[in-house]
Amino acid sequence: MTGKIAFQGELGAYSHQACRMARPNLEALPCRTFEDTIEAVRKGDAELAMLPVENSTYGRVADIHHLLPNSGLHIVDEAFVRVHINLLAVPGTRLSDVKTAVSHPVLLGQCRDFLAENSIHRVTGADTAGSAKMVAEDGDASQAALASELAGEIYGLDVLARNVEDQGNNTTRFLVMSREADLKRRGDAGMMTSFVFRVRNIPAALYKAMGGFATNGVNMTKLESYMVDGIFSATQFYADIEGHPDDKNVQLALEELEYFTSQISLLGVYPADTKRR
């Protein structure tokens, strides 16, 4: 029986594309929300979850950092997916026929120049693949969708224009989540460790906590803060560092961090994607 990897969105979404790229041997399982995606793995309906965490153009994906610490899942891989945006329409449509383009607001914002040059009006849709599905069902040649080429393949749409995004380096980082942690692997491109922590309520606690990474030569690639439970005084930090907790310098840095924190939760230890560099 084929295993499954869950993702949020319709078939043909960029998360579906990430599933195909990172786990081509698994069947993609579409889910309505990020919470449903996580729950599918927790219940055993899927072996893995594919979750987007940040985009090079638009920053972090809302809500994900709040969901990860309480998900009960572990990060076992990361995947960097180049976001190519395509104009899709019903078969036989010409570019000059298109009057409106429907998609997620983020994608519409990433294609302003192309849409303006072709006098195409922007229409907000629920998501990218869902917009492609709607265009296919409506059969209106004046309406197109901005989505992945995979969505066009799934819903039988023609690609009128490829790679119409304004930014040439638009990339989304995904995390692959599992019920079980795997701390034994080592990646050819190095290892990453992700965790969340809260600092103790003492002066300069964050500054002192970060000092251990600098003095031990551990590269911190990401540090983000966000409120906990809607309270301004309760702040949690999400961090990615290069290395494995078994590495001596990482071990020393985490021990120093622990001294200045009230809580640390390890989210995952996983091979760095070769596209990271």
Residues 174-199 pLDDT 10s:
999 999 998 888 888 899 999 999 88
**Residues of the chain where predicted confidence (pLDDT) is lower than 50:** none
pTM score, whole prediction: 0.89
pLDDT at 209: 87
Based on the residue annotation, tell me whether 34 is a catalytic residue of this protein.
Answer: no
Distance CA 136, CA 143 (A): 10
The catalytic residue among 93, 128, 172, 193 is 172
The catalytic residue among 7, 34, 114, 174 is 174
Q: Identify whether the C-beta of residue 32 lies closer than 8 Å to the C-beta of residue 11.
A: no
Say which residues have a Cβ less than 8 Å from residue 235's Cβ, sequence separation at least 6.
Answer: 198, 199, 225, 226, 227, 228
pLDDT at 188: 85
Based on the residue annotation, tell me whether 260 is a catalytic residue of this protein.
Answer: no
pLDDT in tens, 10-38: 999 999 999 999 999 999 999 999 999 99
* β-bridge mates for residue 59, sequence order: 55
Catalogue all structural domains in the chain, each as residue range(s) with its CATH number: 4-83+170-178 (3.40.190.10), 86-161 (3.40.190.10), 192-271 (3.30.70.260)
Distance CA 270, CA 273 (A): 9
